[in-house]
Amino acid sequence: VQNQLFNFIGGNTGVWQVIKMETVVGAPLAQVERVEIIEGELTSVWQDFVWSLSGVTSYGRYVTRAEKDLLASRQADLNRPEATCAALIPISKSEIWWNLAQDERRAILETKSEHIKIGLEYLPAIARRLHHCRELDGEFDFLTWFEFAPEHSEAFEELVVRLHKSEEWKYVVREIDIRLVRADQ
């Protein structure tokens, strides 16, 4: 697990063209045309943007060894040429969630909500990278980035609907659903 910082920069430049931005719950995020993803600390070159969301990859907080191995055996990398569709979903969870103990959060996330199990069903079609930002000075707790081929768009909708119906999602107090397509300039 090398921690890597990624910045999602919303504005009018970038490889990813925004095709839809929906506020699912909580305060909205300003509409943008494009999103650029930059790894590492942002330099002063990046000033002309509408918003910039940063998060770091980190170790899994909930997966058991069996789940971790299963995920590793099935998941696909990002940047597959055929995966021209993407979603960026920033979320924050409530203080009630963060005040739960580890066993309680695991019980909600997996025993009741099957978050990991549901995600596994969509591998390798839907590639995913989770970025943590609760420990950073940002406005969200997590940024999840998904990539998939156009023919898996319906599967992705289904995944989102299933997670939204879960017990875990009752603790989500802010969520923005940003859909994008690769549009190399």
Q: Give the footprint of a second copy on this chain (CB under 8 A).
A: 1-3, 5, 41, 56, 58-65, 67-68, 95, 98-104, 106, 132, 134-137
Residues 84-97 as b/e (b if ≥16 CB within 10 A, e otherwise) read bbbbbbbbbbeeeb
Whose Cβ is closer to a second copy: residue 39's or residue 95's? 95
Tokens (6 digits) for 3: 């921690």
Whose Cβ is closer to a second copy: residue 56's or residue 173's? 56
Whose Cβ is closer to a second copy: residue 94's or residue 166's? 94
CB of 51 to a second copy, least distance (A): 19
Phi-psi region of 74 (alpha: psi -120 to 50; beta: other; left: phi over 0): alpha
- Which alpha helices (H) appear in 2-114, and where do they start and end? 65-74, 95-99, 102-106
Whose Cβ is closer to a second copy: residue 63's or residue 163's? 63
> In 40-118, at which residue ranges do the beta strands (DSSP E only) sit?
51-56, 85-93
Whose Cβ is closer to a second copy: residue 102's or residue 185's? 102
In the chain, the largest separation of any two C-alpha atoms, in whole Å, equals 47
H or E stretch at 120: helix 115-121
CB of 109 to a second copy, least distance (A): 11
CB of 7 to a second copy, least distance (A): 13
9 in Cβ contact with 52 (< 8 Å): yes
Whose Cβ is closer to a second copy: residue 4's or residue 153's? 4
CB of 103 to a second copy, least distance (A): 4
CB of 65 to a second copy, least distance (A): 4
The three-point CA angle 14-28-106 to 5° equals 95
CB of 96 to a second copy, least distance (A): 10
